[in-house]
Amino acid sequence: MRHTRTRAQDRSTRHTARRVLAALTTAGLATTTAACGLGTAGGRAPAGELAGPLAEVKSLEGTSIGVGSKNFTEQLLLGKMAVILLKSAGADVKDLTNIPGSASARQAQTSGQVQMEWEYTGTAWISYLGETTPIPDERRQWEAVRDRDLKDNSLVWLDPAPMNNTYGFAARSQVAKELGTTKLSDFAKVPKDRLTLCVESEFNSRNDGLQPMLKTYGVPLGSGLPKGNVKILDTGAIYAAIDQGECTFGEVFTTDGRIKALDLTVLEDDKSFFPKYNVSPVINKALLDEAPQLRELFKPVTDKLTDETLIELNAKVDVDGQEPVEVANEWLIKEGFITE
């Protein structure tokens, strides 16, 4: 039997989410400003005993591994998962999570400061490998990145997760239902005075961003959509702007926990315009040659990382205010990968 909620309860929940999101945004900005180098995550990551599908993984005792991550929620969660798993397997782990920015994180790995981090196929293909045309098929995109990065940089991409943290556009679920919008092709039938968009400045200028997307979906900027219908905002502010009705649709990342917290509906990218951003463990070849059991350690965990899982885990941090390391550890225990 489904539980029903009153409108007052829904409003209360949404107001609480907004207050928590506002406080966390302020705290996040302060943390980002303070971060000026590697290893800024701080704190201690627990270690347990490998269990379930990982119980027979050969010990990593005597193996030293630097683990990196970027400095946003999902990356911190994944980075801490890796730290916990590797420590539980007996490795000597250097926690270098919370590196500010993709460029810095990539440099840390290609220079050898970091031997393992999670990376996204679309980021590597476009930002690191210099390609301009994404490959629509997720598996083929991963294979292309895998082959190029191994050849050019001696980096090994392990099997990708099902999750795809790509760009998307979302509206409040009630508004999406009212307008009859379920996919991006529906933009063409939305009245012009209701087709208002909030995007970040980078997305506004990318070759896989706003203008090419609008053209693909039949509402080119200027002739199909008035330029005044587009607002440029900081990434975090977009979610609040959608929720408060400042714009009907906003640019989002499709595994962001605020999608669930604010009851947003993400429109289907029915023409596969956006690049695929499946995440994979990326490991320096020299380390993987030394410790091939790393494949067995990460594969069962990676296979469990769906969009729904990441949305839930990200929300525990961004909405509920939990620490990424706590959320990562709780999930690994819950899924039976480690015991306390």
- Going from N- to C-terminal start, the domains of the chain cover 29-164+277-339, 167-266
Cα-Cα-Cα-Cα dihedral sign, residues 203, 120, 163, 17: negative
Quickly state the pLDDT bin for 43 (edges 50, 70, 90).
low
Q: Are 332 and 84 in contact (CB under 8 A)?
A: yes
Angle, helices 7-34 vs 235-243, to 10°: value is 170
* Cα-Cα end-to-end distance for the chain: 35
Q: Alpha-carbon distance 257 to 109, whole Å?
A: 28
Q: Provide the CATH number for the domain formed by 167-266 in this structure.
A: 3.40.190.120
By CB atoms closer than 10 A (0-12, 13-18, 19+), residue 66 is buried
Other C-beta atoms closer than 10 Å to the C-beta of 20 total 15
pLDDT over 50 (residue 11):
no
Mean pLDDT of 110-135: 94
Least confident of 37-51, 200-214, 241-255: 37-51
Domain 29-164+277-339 identical in fold to domain 167-266: yes
Q: So what's the pLDDT on residue 331?
A: 98
Quickly state the pLDDT bin for 153 (edges 50, 70, 90).
very high
| pTM greater than the 0.85 cutoff | no
pLDDT over 50 (residue 21):
no
Out of 3.40.50.720, 3.40.190.10, 3.40.50.280, 3.40.30.10, the CATH code matching 29-164+277-339 is 3.40.190.10
